[in-house]
Amino acid sequence: MPAASNSGIDSPRAWLIVLAAFFGAFVSFGVTYSFGVFLKPMAATFGASHASMTAIFSTLTVLSFFLAPITGDLADRIGPRYVVGAGALIMGAGLLLTAHMHWFPMLFVTYGVCVGTAGACVYVPLVATVGEWFKLRRDIALGVAISGIGCGTLIAAPLAATLTERFGWRTAFEIFGWSSTIILLACAALVSRPPVLRANDTANVMGMMRTRTFALMYVALIFSGIAIYIAFVFLPAFAADVGASRIAGAALIGYVGASSVIGRLGLNALAPRFGLLNMYKASYLILLISSYFWLTGHNYMALVIFGLVMGVGYGGIAAMSPAVAASMFGIEGLGELLGFLMTSFGIACLVGPPLAGVMVDYTHDYKWPVFVAAASAFIALIAVIPLRAPVSQSSSELEVATAD
């Protein structure tokens, strides 16, 4: 096999795309998953309920995933650079406007709509581009790129808590707004189309979505997403209920992010030896196991253990989902396909945090979100277990779907 050129598939140039995707995920998810830190101070400023605040978070996340099929298709057609660049500008504008907003309903636009749209413009286009730039090392390249989510969570949530503690949440949003814009514009400058002829126009994305494999992955991601997003939104508040400080509560999100890097890189690295699909299922099992520590957690240390274990499972799911999709369905139309697959997380966020928020408002007990998260993690594992060998399964299923 001839060696890759300096600007071709699996080349050093391809690793610059990974770098761009890493920092794109770092910023977009670092900002998103800092929401739990801002929940209480923003609710106090606007006199808003938990249900209202989590509705903003759901707006943000639902848009970031439901717009992903559109942004993924746009990136396939016009190239990822323009889409990511637009996301950079929208992200900065949304955060800066939120910092100066004094009317609560407008937060749904400045925070929910703007930041959610920006996330859709950044994550899926960058991840899909990484998948297209690699053939031999695609799994590890995607793992490295997506580990930006964990690193962003590790740094952004504690940073948000520190800035809020010292300067207030409005100044924290200003700092996040300017830094996000600069970093994402740099990512847009680095990213480009792969140097191969694209065949997206002939990709049967609708046929792929009608397969049993896609359906099982979609259901599993919905319920794992419910468990994950409930934890991100309510874990800091739950920690405060057991006596932890605001910064200590935010640190739990950081622990999730740190251990998710282990899941993204460690579990992914074991895939060649034990099988990509086996490690993918193991990630769901680890997510379920983590629920035990939150269910029985009556002190801060138990919550730390929960965050560390959950992060490993969550990281493996996030890192291997694109790789599993690419191995089962190929890279043609991958941006659009991943966009549709990621709408599962939008549904998860639309259902999970608001439902948990209503329970907290009525019961004044942060234990209810834990029960919902644990049940969801169990259903996710049940859904992913029937998945079988990707190559043979996807080929046969796609033939049937195409015939339909």
- Listing DSSP states for 331-358 in one string gives STTHHHHHHHHHHHHHHHHHHHHHHHHH
As a whole number of angstroms, the distance between CA 353 and CA 35 comes to: 12
What is the model's pLDDT at position 395? 41
CATH of region 12-194+203-403: 1.20.1250.20
What is the model's pLDDT at position 258? 80
* Percent of the chain clearing pLDDT 70 (strictly above): 90
89-102 pLDDT tens trace: 999 999 999 999 88
What is the model's pLDDT at position 7? 60
As a whole number of angstroms, the distance between CA 350 and CA 364 comes to: 21
Q: Is residue 344 over pLDDT 60?
A: yes
Q: Which of 48-57, 207-216, 231-240, 325-334 has the highest mean pLDDT?
A: 207-216
What is the model's pLDDT at position 124? 84
pLDDT band at 396 (very low <50, low <70, confident <90, very high): very low
What is the model's pLDDT at position 358? 80
As a whole number of angstroms, the distance between CA 394 and CA 392 comes to: 6
pTM, entire model: 0.71
325 versus 285: the higher-pLDDT residue is 285
What is the model's pLDDT at position 203? 60
As a whole number of angstroms, the distance between CA 374 and CA 382 comes to: 13
What is the model's pLDDT at position 5? 52
Q: Which residues, other chains included, contact 147 with Cβ-Cβ below 8 Å and sequence gap of 6+?
A: 22, 25, 260, 261, 264, 265, 315, 319
CB-hemisphere CA count at 13 Å for 206? 5
- Tokens 């993918």 map to which residue? 280
Write the CA distances from 45 to 48, 233, 354, integer angstroms: 8, 18, 20
pLDDT band at 397 (very low <50, low <70, confident <90, very high): very low
Q: Is residue 194 over pLDDT 70?
A: yes
- Closest C-alpha among 201, 319, 207 to residue 259: 319
As a whole number of angstroms, the distance between CA 131 and CA 143 comes to: 10
pLDDT band at 326 (very low <50, low <70, confident <90, very high): confident
What is the model's pLDDT at position 329? 78
Q: Is residue 200 over pLDDT 70?
A: no
Q: Where are the domains of the chain?
A: 12-194+203-403
What is the model's pLDDT at position 389? 63
Residue 18's Cα: distance from chain center in Å?
Answer: 16
Mean pLDDT calculated for residue range 108-120: 91
Q: Is residue 161 over pLDDT 60?
A: yes
Q: Is residue 3 over pLDDT 70?
A: no
pLDDT band at 394 (very low <50, low <70, confident <90, very high): very low
pLDDT band at 392 (very low <50, low <70, confident <90, very high): very low
- The phi, psi pair for 179, rounded to 5°, reads -65, -40
Q: Is residue 317 over pLDDT 50?
A: yes
- Measured N-to-C along each axis, helices 80-99 and 68-78 cross at an angle, to the nearest 10 degrees, of 140
396 versus 370: the higher-pLDDT residue is 370
Q: Is residue 333 over pLDDT 80?
A: no
Mean pLDDT calculated for residue range 65-85: 86
* Percent of the chain clearing pLDDT 90 (strictly above): 26
Amino acid at 63: L
